[in-house]
A and B are shown apart, each in its own frame.
Chain A
Amino acid sequence: MRRTFKAAMGAEVAALALLAGLASAQAGSLKIESWRNDDADIWNSKIIPAFNKHYPDIKVEFAPSAPKEYNAALNARLDGGTAGDLITCRPFDASLALYQKHQLDAVDGLKGMDNFSDVAKAAWQTDDGKTTFCVPIASVIAGFIYNKEAFAKVGVSEPKTLEEFHAVLEKFKKDGTYVPLVMGTADQWEAATMGFQNIGPDYWKGETGRANLIAGKEKLTDPQYVAAFKEIASWAPYLGSGFQAQTYADSQNLFSLGKGAIYAAGSWDISTFRGQAKFAMGAFPPPQPAGTTDCYISDHTDIAMGVNAASKNKEDAKKFLEWLTTPEFATIYANSLPGFFSLAKTPVKVEDDVAATMVGWRQNCKSTIRNSYQILSRGTPNLENELWNVSAQVVNGKLTPDAAGKQLQDGLDKWYKPAK
């Protein structure tokens, strides 16, 4: 069955190649499905024209949907056979499911795939790591962005350790001009993604802890995870008043209006702040807990692109994907969208100073992806949903760090049996 399927696919590809060869004089066209509607302008004015310099005959259309609706809309279009030729891939299970339903093709054979490390590809591979189905585009890094003017005014410098971090926060609180730490819990994911996953990797040693969690050798009730929850619980006194009802947009505005000192950040915030903030900004990596020497950062693989298995123009789609692996694309992408960092091995020069600082952490610190993303959010209850919920509650002071770890582990134990 499998074999005949593959053979049929082969025949189809060959036929398409023939057709493409015959029709090479005629312009091919490609449609890109994406959730990055914020970036439509950059795709249309920079990326696609750059691609067309090499392939003037291929007409590329960037057709994004709203981020919240993307997965549902894409699935409906794939099932109905009306989806575009190129699919922007969410990391891990959402895209894996598409590959398993034979809606995405494998991309292992593409030229340039060796330009990506295994960690970069992990988010778009089968569990055994043997097949990759999307070309990695970018990752996002978590850390802290700060207001340089506020730091100069209060007379503090970038904290290296958690102890220094707390001293800085305390100083800002005493001073009273600025909200010491900008983070809200109304949207819940801020507490999980920019809180727990941001400072956590130093506690669980990045990829080591993540792999152990998947292997069942560590539990979320272990001291390193509870300690990470204890740390975010201790932030509550330094957050803005009424942070329980502070949404993500509130946080962004609070910081870009110059009212906050430190912002628990994802690198994707940089372009928003560049447009709005009138003050100089800096960034520091998650401060280290006492007694640790190695540093780890959440360098999360976030965007990739694959080929719709039902596409009628796979030849051109593959040309486009191969171009995505080139340093030319990486440079355009990283510089038009500061904060989205290329996953290619070839280093890319980033002009934006805050973005350059953040990507520079990769030199000294080890990268890791969010530990709830691979495999562990596959069952019910969903670990990522649970993590949003308990992280927000821990910061709100409604749940103790121990109880948070227990709730997560209990939920995981209900469906997840690690491979022995």
Chain B
Amino acid sequence: MPESVSNITAQMPRAKLAGLLLFFLGPAVAIYTLFSIYPLVATMALSTYTSDPSGARYFVGLANFETLLGDALWSKPFWNAFGNNLIFFAVHMCVQNPIGIALAGLLSLPGLRLKGFYRTVMFLPTMLSVVIVGFSWNLILSPLWGVASGALKAVGLGSLFAPWLGLESSALVTLSLISVWQFVGIPMMLIYAALLNIPEELIDAARVDGLGHFRIFFHIKLPLVLPTISLVSVLTFVANFNAFDLIYSVKGALAGPNFATDILGTFFYRTFFGNQLQLGNPTMGSAVATVMFFIILLGLCLYLFLVQRRVRRYAF
């Protein structure tokens, strides 16, 4: 069938084809250019300027980037934020995605009752506003009136409780886990949808061969949904390196204690918009945003060239 479509387009007069293309692609290209490409290019352009107290801007080439990566005053907080961001990502990869896969596996078990109910409940946090999530968890974990310390005491583990969100050693991991709790529904849904696509005959054949649920999952289902899992990983990577809102709503723009929860998003926000007496610096902020863009771009390229090409897809 595809051949016939290209035959049709080949026989079409040039002008008509161009008109058709413009009609179908034009709106999308226009909107994408206006709201994605233009801001991106404008940000990159702005990052090559600096401004003086009167507000006038001067072109400085790559000087902002030299300062950001070469001057310890800027590079130290930048690499600190980058490191924290890697931890944030690692927690999501090691906790969120395995749990998402496991939940999807459980949901796709034949004969499970109340499937729709579980699916909705587990997806609910994803739909909550991040401010509500941050506020609720702040209260749950509060050492003053949170339920966490009471719940731990009730099972005899009261001594394990600590003000996790306030300690340098645990604040970042705690926040990462809150984010995992909120977003675990997304890998679950995507992988669940992929699992549903696996033909019943394959599963039936495996069962006839004498495999249990567990081995069916690991040897049949999991390899078949690997492309989806790698897609989920990439989505996680992009979302994590753009993350900002949860940290900001729980810890504020100064991401304490001692910048232990500072990630690239909050570092960018402080630089671009300022904080308390620190005045916003849009040109330097744009440089931070540009570096963030290249970090994500680099991550995506690595994924495309090293992972995507090797993932085998099965057509049913």
Whether the Cβ atoms of B73 and A381 lie closer than 8 Å is: yes
Which one of B252, B270, B274, B278 contacts A188 once the chains associate, using CB atoms below 8 Å? B252
Q: Which residue of B lies closest to A393 (CB)?
A: B258
Least CB distance from B269 to A in Å reads: 10
Whether the Cβ atoms of B163 and A100 lie closer than 8 Å is: no
Cα distance, A244 to B257, chains bound together (Å): 9
Which one of A71, A250, A392 contacts B280 once the chains associate, using CB atoms below 8 Å? A71
Least CB distance from B2 to A in Å reads: 50
Whether the Cβ atoms of B143 and A93 lie closer than 8 Å is: no
Chain B residues lying within 8 Å of A243, measured Cβ to Cβ, are 143, 163, 166
- Given A389-B254, A392-B256, A245:B166 Cβ within 8 A: yes
Whether the Cβ atoms of A246 and B166 lie closer than 8 Å is: yes
Q: Of residues 375 to 394 in A, which have CB atoms within 8 Å of B's CB atoms?
A: 377, 380-385, 388-389, 392-393
Least CB distance from A212 to B in Å reads: 20
Chain B residues lying within 8 Å of A92, measured Cβ to Cβ, are 277
A8 within 8 A of B: no
Interface string of B117-160 (1 = CB under 8 A from A): 00000000000000000000010011110000000000000000
Chain A residues lying within 8 Å of B73, measured Cβ to Cβ, are 380-381, 414
Q: Of residues 245 to 298 in B, which have CB atoms within 8 Å of A's CB atoms?
A: 251-252, 254, 256-259, 270, 273-280
Q: Which residue of B lies closest to A376 (CB)?
A: B277
Least CB distance from A90 to B in Å reads: 9
Whether the Cβ atoms of B274 and A72 lie closer than 8 Å is: yes
Cα distance, A100 to B279, chains bound together (Å): 14
Whether the Cβ atoms of A93 and B277 lie closer than 8 Å is: yes
Q: How many A-B residue pairs have CB under 8 A?
A: 110
Of A245, A384, A414, most buried by chain B (CB within 10 Å of CB) is A245
Whether the Cβ atoms of B138 and A247 lie closer than 8 Å is: yes
B165 within 8 A of A: yes
Cα distance, A396 to B162, chains bound together (Å): 13
Chain B residues lying within 8 Å of A414, measured Cβ to Cβ, are 73
Of B74, B167, B277, most buried by chain A (CB within 10 Å of CB) is B277
Q: Which residue of A lies closest to B253 (CB)?
A: A68
Chain B residues lying within 8 Å of A384, measured Cβ to Cβ, are 276-278
Which one of A94, A382, A398 contacts B168 once the chains associate, using CB atoms below 8 Å? A398
Chain B residues lying within 8 Å of A388, measured Cβ to Cβ, are 254, 256, 276
Least CB distance from A127 to B in Å reads: 11
Cα distance, A329 to B270, chains bound together (Å): 36
Whether the Cβ atoms of A245 and B163 lie closer than 8 Å is: yes
Whether the Cβ atoms of A100 and B254 lie closer than 8 Å is: no
CB-defined A-B contacts under 8 Å, sample of 11: A71-B273, A71-B280, A72-B274, A75-B280, A94-B277, A240-B144, A242-B166, A245-B142, A254-B144, A388-B254, A396-B166
| 5 closest A-B pairs by CB | A242-B143, A244-B166, A245-B166, A242-B163, A245-B163
A188-B254, A241-B144 are known; give 11 further A-B pairs, CB within 8 A.
Answer: A94-B279, A97-B53, A240-B143, A240-B144, A245-B141, A245-B163, A246-B163, A384-B276, A384-B277, A385-B270, A393-B258
Could you tell me which A residues sit within 8 Å of B by CB distance? 71-72, 75, 92-94, 97, 100-102, 185-189, 240-247, 250, 254, 372-373, 377, 380-385, 388-389, 392-393, 396, 398, 414
Could you tell me which B residues sit within 8 Å of A by CB distance? 53-55, 73-74, 138, 141-144, 162-168, 251-252, 254, 256-259, 270, 273-280
